[in-house]
């Protein structure tokens, strides 16, 4: 199967992906504001998930405690990634 002329040049090498110059970088004020919002939401969500997981442990409902604990860990990952992007963009 021959490479498409839209994705490959005359010599058969792949052309670079087009870059959207309108996309904001993490250092732009809009992205910084968005990252700050993501950090705040993720921190609140993680705290609430761990609080609810603690209540379920106290009530001896282990299955729901595990579910909320895993969701809390995922939100901590989102928090860490947003914090990393915000610090890297400065």
In degrees rounded to 5, what are phi and psi of residue 14?
Answer: -70, 140
Report the pLDDT value the prediction gives residue 29, as an integer from 0 to 100.
84
pTM for the predicted model, two decimal places: 0.69
CB 76 within 8 A of CB 42: yes
Query: Cβ contacts of residue 90 below 8 Å, gap of 6+?
Result: 27
The alpha-helical segments, DSSP class H, found in 1-90 are: 29-58, 62-89
Instruction: List pLDDT tens digits, range 30-73.
Output: 888 999 999 999 999 999 999 999 999 999 999 999 999 999 99
Which has the higher per-residue pLDDT, 23 or 75? 75
């Amino acid at each position: 199967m021959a490479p498409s002329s839209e994705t490959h040049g005359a010599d058969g090498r792949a052309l670079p992906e087009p870059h959207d110059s309108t996309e904001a970088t993490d250092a732009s004020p809009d992205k910084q504001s968005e990252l700050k919002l993501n950090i705040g939401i993720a921190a609140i969500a993680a705290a609430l998930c761990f609080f609810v997981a603690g209540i379920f442990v106290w009530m001896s409902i282990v299955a729901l405690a595990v579910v909320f604990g895993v969701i809390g860990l995922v939100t901590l990952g989102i928090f860490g990634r947003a914090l990393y992007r915000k610090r890297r963009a400065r």
